[in-house]
Amino acid sequence: MNEKHLEPYLKIIQALLNCDRGKEREILQVNSGLIDAGLIKTMAGVAAMLLERGDTEAAEWLQNVAAPLVGEMVNFSPVASQAYLNFLTQLLQATSDSNGDPYVVYPLLQGNLEKLDRKFARILQQWAMATLLQVKSKEAPLLAATLGTLSNLMAQFPLGDRESNLEIAIALYEIVVKIFTRDHPLEWATTQNNLGNAYRNRNEGDGTLNLEKAIAAYKAALEVYTRDAFPEDWAMVQNNLGNAYRDRIQGDKAQNLTIAIAAYKDALQVYTREAFPEKSATIQNNMAVACEHIIEDHREKNLENG
Protein backbone atom coordinates (compact mmCIF):
# COMPACT_ATOMS: atom_id res chain seq x y z
CA MET A 1 0.00 0.00 0.00
CA ASN A 2 1.18 3.56 -0.75
CA GLU A 3 1.49 5.03 2.75
CA LYS A 4 1.05 8.61 1.53
CA HIS A 5 -2.45 7.64 0.38
CA LEU A 6 -3.50 6.16 3.71
CA GLU A 7 -5.08 9.36 5.02
CA PRO A 8 -7.07 9.97 1.78
CA TYR A 9 -8.17 6.32 1.83
CA LEU A 10 -9.48 6.72 5.37
CA LYS A 11 -11.29 9.94 4.44
CA ILE A 12 -13.04 8.16 1.56
CA ILE A 13 -14.03 5.29 3.84
CA GLN A 14 -15.33 7.68 6.48
CA ALA A 15 -17.37 9.49 3.84
CA LEU A 16 -18.79 6.17 2.66
CA LEU A 17 -19.75 5.11 6.15
CA ASN A 18 -21.45 8.46 6.84
CA CYS A 19 -23.26 8.85 3.53
CA ASP A 20 -26.89 8.05 2.82
CA ARG A 21 -27.31 4.60 1.34
CA GLY A 22 -27.29 4.81 -2.44
CA LYS A 23 -24.85 7.75 -2.47
CA GLU A 24 -21.70 5.62 -2.24
CA ARG A 25 -21.24 5.49 -6.04
CA GLU A 26 -21.11 9.29 -6.19
CA ILE A 27 -18.37 9.36 -3.54
CA LEU A 28 -16.37 6.73 -5.41
CA GLN A 29 -16.74 8.59 -8.71
CA VAL A 30 -15.48 11.83 -7.16
CA ASN A 31 -12.46 9.94 -5.81
CA SER A 32 -11.93 7.64 -8.80
CA GLY A 33 -8.23 8.50 -8.93
CA LEU A 34 -7.70 6.82 -5.56
CA ILE A 35 -9.58 3.60 -6.30
CA ASP A 36 -6.81 1.01 -6.32
CA ALA A 37 -5.62 -2.07 -4.44
CA GLY A 38 -4.51 0.12 -1.53
CA LEU A 39 -7.99 1.52 -1.01
CA ILE A 40 -9.53 -1.95 -1.16
CA LYS A 41 -7.04 -3.32 1.37
CA THR A 42 -7.73 -0.36 3.67
CA MET A 43 -11.47 -0.97 3.36
CA ALA A 44 -10.90 -4.59 4.30
CA GLY A 45 -8.92 -3.51 7.35
CA VAL A 46 -11.56 -1.03 8.50
CA ALA A 47 -14.28 -3.66 7.99
CA ALA A 48 -12.31 -6.06 10.18
CA MET A 49 -12.02 -3.40 12.90
CA LEU A 50 -15.76 -2.75 12.74
CA LEU A 51 -16.42 -6.47 13.14
CA GLU A 52 -14.18 -6.60 16.20
CA ARG A 53 -16.15 -3.73 17.71
CA GLY A 54 -19.40 -5.57 17.07
CA ASP A 55 -20.65 -3.22 14.35
CA THR A 56 -21.55 -6.05 11.99
CA GLU A 57 -23.99 -4.06 9.89
CA ALA A 58 -21.46 -1.34 9.00
CA ALA A 59 -18.73 -3.93 8.37
CA GLU A 60 -20.86 -5.96 6.00
CA TRP A 61 -22.06 -2.85 4.19
CA LEU A 62 -18.46 -1.67 3.65
CA GLN A 63 -17.50 -5.13 2.41
CA ASN A 64 -20.38 -5.05 -0.06
CA VAL A 65 -19.24 -1.65 -1.35
CA ALA A 66 -15.65 -2.85 -1.77
CA ALA A 67 -16.37 -6.19 -3.45
CA PRO A 68 -17.43 -4.80 -6.89
CA LEU A 69 -14.33 -2.59 -7.01
CA VAL A 70 -12.17 -5.69 -7.29
CA GLY A 71 -13.98 -6.80 -10.43
CA GLU A 72 -13.60 -3.33 -11.94
CA MET A 73 -9.82 -3.57 -11.49
CA VAL A 74 -9.49 -6.84 -13.41
CA ASN A 75 -7.92 -6.25 -16.83
CA PHE A 76 -8.67 -9.68 -18.32
CA SER A 77 -11.61 -10.93 -20.33
CA PRO A 78 -14.38 -12.58 -18.28
CA VAL A 79 -13.85 -15.89 -20.08
CA ALA A 80 -10.09 -15.95 -19.47
CA SER A 81 -10.49 -14.84 -15.87
CA GLN A 82 -13.10 -17.51 -15.19
CA ALA A 83 -10.83 -20.21 -16.60
CA TYR A 84 -8.09 -19.16 -14.21
CA LEU A 85 -10.50 -18.92 -11.29
CA ASN A 86 -11.85 -22.40 -12.02
CA PHE A 87 -8.29 -23.72 -12.06
CA LEU A 88 -7.58 -21.92 -8.78
CA THR A 89 -10.64 -23.50 -7.18
CA GLN A 90 -9.49 -26.97 -8.28
CA LEU A 91 -5.97 -26.28 -7.05
CA LEU A 92 -7.08 -25.12 -3.61
CA GLN A 93 -9.44 -28.05 -3.24
CA ALA A 94 -6.75 -30.56 -4.21
CA THR A 95 -4.25 -28.93 -1.84
CA SER A 96 -6.72 -28.94 1.04
CA ASP A 97 -8.05 -32.47 0.48
CA SER A 98 -4.58 -34.00 0.12
CA ASN A 99 -2.91 -31.95 2.87
CA GLY A 100 -0.51 -30.63 0.26
CA ASP A 101 0.54 -33.99 -1.15
CA PRO A 102 2.76 -33.19 -4.18
CA TYR A 103 1.72 -36.50 -5.79
CA VAL A 104 -1.79 -35.04 -5.95
CA VAL A 105 -1.10 -31.34 -6.56
CA TYR A 106 1.81 -31.57 -9.01
CA PRO A 107 -0.08 -33.59 -11.66
CA LEU A 108 -2.78 -30.91 -11.59
CA LEU A 109 -0.14 -28.22 -12.07
CA GLN A 110 1.51 -30.23 -14.83
CA GLY A 111 -1.80 -30.53 -16.66
CA ASN A 112 -2.27 -26.74 -16.56
CA LEU A 113 1.20 -25.41 -17.31
CA GLU A 114 -0.26 -22.84 -19.72
CA LYS A 115 -2.04 -21.20 -16.78
CA LEU A 116 1.06 -20.91 -14.60
CA ASP A 117 1.98 -17.42 -15.73
CA ARG A 118 2.06 -13.82 -14.51
CA LYS A 119 -1.61 -13.42 -15.33
CA PHE A 120 -2.43 -16.15 -12.83
CA ALA A 121 -0.32 -14.38 -10.19
CA ARG A 122 -2.25 -11.14 -10.73
CA ILE A 123 -5.61 -12.89 -10.68
CA LEU A 124 -4.57 -14.54 -7.43
CA GLN A 125 -4.02 -11.12 -5.88
CA GLN A 126 -7.36 -9.84 -7.13
CA TRP A 127 -9.15 -12.98 -6.00
CA ALA A 128 -7.57 -12.59 -2.57
CA MET A 129 -8.77 -9.00 -2.22
CA ALA A 130 -12.32 -10.05 -2.99
CA THR A 131 -12.17 -13.19 -0.83
CA LEU A 132 -10.66 -11.53 2.22
CA LEU A 133 -13.50 -9.02 2.22
CA GLN A 134 -16.02 -11.82 2.53
CA VAL A 135 -14.37 -14.69 4.39
CA LYS A 136 -15.45 -15.13 7.99
CA SER A 137 -12.75 -14.61 10.61
CA LYS A 138 -12.96 -18.18 11.89
CA GLU A 139 -12.46 -19.53 8.35
CA ALA A 140 -9.48 -17.30 7.51
CA PRO A 141 -6.78 -19.43 9.24
CA LEU A 142 -7.91 -22.52 7.34
CA LEU A 143 -7.74 -20.63 4.06
CA ALA A 144 -4.32 -19.23 4.96
CA ALA A 145 -3.00 -22.70 5.82
CA THR A 146 -4.08 -24.03 2.42
CA LEU A 147 -2.60 -21.03 0.62
CA GLY A 148 0.64 -21.37 2.57
CA THR A 149 0.96 -25.03 1.62
CA LEU A 150 0.28 -24.21 -2.02
CA SER A 151 2.87 -21.40 -1.84
CA ASN A 152 5.57 -23.87 -0.84
CA LEU A 153 4.53 -26.33 -3.53
CA MET A 154 4.66 -23.61 -6.20
CA ALA A 155 8.08 -22.41 -5.04
CA GLN A 156 9.42 -25.95 -5.43
CA PHE A 157 7.51 -27.01 -8.57
CA PRO A 158 10.18 -28.13 -11.07
CA LEU A 159 8.18 -27.88 -14.32
CA GLY A 160 7.02 -24.97 -16.47
CA ASP A 161 8.56 -21.52 -16.30
CA ARG A 162 10.48 -21.27 -13.01
CA GLU A 163 10.20 -17.47 -12.88
CA SER A 164 6.41 -17.60 -13.31
CA ASN A 165 6.18 -20.28 -10.62
CA LEU A 166 8.12 -18.03 -8.26
CA GLU A 167 5.90 -15.04 -9.03
CA ILE A 168 2.85 -17.16 -8.19
CA ALA A 169 4.51 -18.34 -4.96
CA ILE A 170 5.30 -14.73 -3.97
CA ALA A 171 1.71 -13.67 -4.67
CA LEU A 172 0.50 -16.50 -2.44
CA TYR A 173 2.96 -15.76 0.37
CA GLU A 174 1.94 -12.10 0.38
CA ILE A 175 -1.70 -13.12 0.71
CA VAL A 176 -0.88 -15.47 3.59
CA VAL A 177 0.97 -12.85 5.66
CA LYS A 178 -2.10 -10.62 5.40
CA ILE A 179 -4.25 -13.38 6.91
CA PHE A 180 -1.73 -14.84 9.35
CA THR A 181 -0.96 -11.62 11.18
CA ARG A 182 1.04 -11.47 14.40
CA ASP A 183 -2.05 -12.98 16.04
CA HIS A 184 -0.77 -16.25 14.51
CA PRO A 185 2.94 -15.69 15.24
CA LEU A 186 4.46 -19.01 14.18
CA GLU A 187 2.57 -19.23 10.89
CA TRP A 188 3.30 -15.56 10.20
CA ALA A 189 7.03 -15.97 10.91
CA THR A 190 7.29 -19.12 8.78
CA THR A 191 5.64 -17.35 5.87
CA GLN A 192 7.88 -14.30 6.29
CA ASN A 193 10.95 -16.53 6.05
CA ASN A 194 9.56 -18.29 2.97
CA LEU A 195 8.68 -14.94 1.41
CA GLY A 196 12.23 -13.77 2.06
CA ASN A 197 13.62 -16.84 0.30
CA ALA A 198 11.34 -16.24 -2.67
CA TYR A 199 12.39 -12.60 -3.02
CA ARG A 200 16.07 -13.51 -2.64
CA ASN A 201 15.75 -16.04 -5.47
CA ARG A 202 13.66 -13.73 -7.65
CA ASN A 203 15.14 -12.61 -10.98
CA GLU A 204 12.19 -10.54 -12.14
CA GLY A 205 11.92 -6.88 -11.22
CA ASP A 206 14.52 -4.71 -9.50
CA GLY A 207 17.25 -6.89 -8.00
CA THR A 208 18.11 -4.28 -5.39
CA LEU A 209 14.49 -3.98 -4.27
CA ASN A 210 14.05 -7.76 -4.20
CA LEU A 211 16.95 -8.14 -1.77
CA GLU A 212 15.65 -5.31 0.41
CA LYS A 213 12.27 -7.04 0.57
CA ALA A 214 14.00 -10.32 1.42
CA ILE A 215 15.94 -8.68 4.26
CA ALA A 216 12.78 -7.02 5.61
CA ALA A 217 10.95 -10.37 5.56
CA TYR A 218 13.78 -12.18 7.37
CA LYS A 219 13.94 -9.46 10.03
CA ALA A 220 10.18 -9.76 10.49
CA ALA A 221 10.52 -13.52 10.99
CA LEU A 222 13.19 -12.93 13.64
CA GLU A 223 10.71 -10.87 15.67
CA VAL A 224 9.04 -14.21 16.47
CA TYR A 225 11.88 -16.67 15.96
CA THR A 226 14.06 -15.62 18.87
CA ARG A 227 17.07 -17.64 19.94
CA ASP A 228 15.59 -18.50 23.32
CA ALA A 229 12.15 -19.57 22.08
CA PHE A 230 12.98 -21.15 18.70
CA PRO A 231 16.75 -21.68 18.46
CA GLU A 232 16.82 -23.79 15.30
CA ASP A 233 14.39 -21.55 13.42
CA TRP A 234 16.35 -18.52 14.63
CA ALA A 235 19.57 -20.02 13.30
CA MET A 236 17.96 -20.92 9.97
CA VAL A 237 16.73 -17.36 9.42
CA GLN A 238 20.09 -15.93 10.51
CA ASN A 239 21.75 -17.98 7.78
CA ASN A 240 19.18 -16.76 5.24
CA LEU A 241 19.70 -13.18 6.40
CA GLY A 242 23.45 -13.64 6.02
CA ASN A 243 22.97 -14.79 2.42
CA ALA A 244 20.82 -11.75 1.66
CA TYR A 245 23.33 -9.30 3.16
CA ARG A 246 26.19 -11.09 1.38
CA ASP A 247 24.49 -10.42 -1.97
CA ARG A 248 23.05 -7.02 -1.03
CA ILE A 249 23.49 -4.28 -3.62
CA GLN A 250 22.26 -1.29 -1.61
CA GLY A 251 24.51 0.26 1.02
CA ASP A 252 28.23 -0.11 1.68
CA LYS A 253 29.53 -3.44 0.41
CA ALA A 254 32.05 -3.97 3.20
CA GLN A 255 29.47 -3.20 5.86
CA ASN A 256 26.96 -5.57 4.27
CA LEU A 257 29.54 -8.36 4.25
CA THR A 258 30.39 -7.68 7.88
CA ILE A 259 26.71 -7.99 8.82
CA ALA A 260 26.48 -11.19 6.77
CA ILE A 261 29.41 -12.78 8.59
CA ALA A 262 27.95 -11.78 11.96
CA ALA A 263 24.66 -13.47 10.99
CA TYR A 264 26.50 -16.64 9.96
CA LYS A 265 28.36 -16.67 13.27
CA ASP A 266 25.08 -16.33 15.12
CA ALA A 267 23.65 -19.27 13.18
CA LEU A 268 26.71 -21.39 14.02
CA GLN A 269 26.04 -20.89 17.72
CA VAL A 270 23.07 -23.23 17.25
CA TYR A 271 24.09 -25.19 14.18
CA THR A 272 27.26 -26.51 15.73
CA ARG A 273 29.54 -29.00 13.98
CA GLU A 274 28.74 -31.66 16.57
CA ALA A 275 24.95 -31.33 16.61
CA PHE A 276 24.26 -30.35 12.98
CA PRO A 277 27.30 -31.33 10.87
CA GLU A 278 25.68 -30.79 7.45
CA LYS A 279 24.05 -27.47 8.28
CA SER A 280 27.21 -26.31 10.01
CA ALA A 281 29.24 -27.13 6.91
CA THR A 282 26.80 -25.24 4.67
CA ILE A 283 26.97 -22.13 6.83
CA GLN A 284 30.75 -22.35 7.09
CA ASN A 285 30.86 -22.42 3.29
CA ASN A 286 28.51 -19.42 3.08
CA MET A 287 30.76 -17.51 5.47
CA ALA A 288 33.84 -18.46 3.46
CA VAL A 289 32.24 -16.99 0.33
CA ALA A 290 31.48 -13.77 2.23
CA CYS A 291 35.11 -13.61 3.41
CA GLU A 292 36.30 -14.03 -0.17
CA HIS A 293 34.08 -11.11 -1.18
CA ILE A 294 35.68 -8.99 1.55
CA ILE A 295 39.15 -9.84 0.25
CA GLU A 296 38.06 -8.97 -3.30
CA ASP A 297 36.55 -5.69 -2.08
CA HIS A 298 39.78 -4.74 -0.30
CA ARG A 299 41.82 -5.65 -3.40
CA GLU A 300 39.61 -3.49 -5.61
CA LYS A 301 39.87 -0.54 -3.23
CA ASN A 302 43.67 -0.88 -3.07
CA LEU A 303 43.85 -0.88 -6.87
CA GLU A 304 41.67 2.23 -7.00
CA ASN A 305 43.96 3.98 -4.49
CA GLY A 306 47.03 3.01 -6.46
113 — phi, psi (to 5°)? -60, -30
Question: CA 24: distance to chain centroid?
Answer: 32
At 2, the pLDDT band (50, 70, 90 cuts) reads very low
219 belongs to a structural domain: yes
Residues 224 and 160 in one domain: no
Of 65, 62, 35, 69, give the one whose Cα is nearest residue 48: 62
Q: How far apart are CA 218 and CA 21, in angstroms?
A: 45
Q: Does residue 230 share a domain with residue 277?
A: yes
Q: Residue 125: which pLDDT band, with cuts at 50, 70 and 90?
A: confident
Q: What pLDDT is attached to residue 258?
A: 95
Q: What does the alpha-carbon distance between residue 186 and residue 174 come to, in Å, rounded to a whole number?
A: 16
Indicate whether 188 belongs to any domain.
Answer: no
Do 59 and 134 fall into the same domain?
no
Give the end of a domain, one of 73, 95, 130.
Answer: 73
169 and 86 together in one domain: yes
Rounded Cα distance between 238 and 246, Å, is 12
Instruction: Give pLDDT, residue 190.
Output: 96
d(CA 86, CA 45): 27
Average pLDDT, the chain: 87
Report pTM.
0.75
Which one of 73, 106, 134 terminates a domain? 73
Domain boundary pick from 73, 97, 131: 73
Taking alpha carbons only, the member of 91, 74, 199 closest to residue 149 is 91
What are the residues whose beta carbons fall under 8 Å from the beta carbon of 154, sequence distance 6 or more?
Answer: 109, 165, 166, 168, 169, 172
pLDDT, tens digit, 9 for 90 and up, residues 55-65: 878 887 887 78
Same domain, 245 and 152: no
How far apart are alpha carbons 177 and 182 in whole angstroms? 9
Alpha helices in the chain (DSSP H): 6-18, 24-30, 37-52, 56-73, 78-97, 102-110, 118-134, 140-156, 162-179, 185-201, 207-222, 231-247, 253-270, 277-304
Q: What is the 3-state secondary structure of 276-306? A: CHHHHHHHHHHHHHHHHHHHHHHHHHHHHCC
Q: How many domains does the chain have?
A: 3
d(CA 41, CA 63): 11
Residues 84 and 166 in one domain: yes
The verdict on residue 257 lying in a domain is yes
pLDDT in tens, 60-108: 788 778 777 765 555 555 556 788 888 999 999 999 999 999 999 999 9
Residue 194 lies in a domain: no
Is position 196 within any domain? no
174 shares a domain with 147: yes
pLDDT the model gives residue 49: 83
79 within a domain of the structure (yes/no): yes
pLDDT for 238-286, tens place per residue? 999 999 999 999 999 999 999 999 999 999 999 999 999 999 999 999 9
Q: Out of 25-29, 30-34, 163-167, pick the least confident.
A: 30-34
In a domain, 207, yes or no: no
In terms of residue numbers, what domain contains 111?
74-179
Give me the long-range contacts of 184-188 (CB less than 8 A, separation at least 24): 184/141, 184/144, 185/224, 186/224, 187/141, 187/144, 187/145, 187/148, 188/224
On whether residue 86 sits in a domain, the answer given is yes
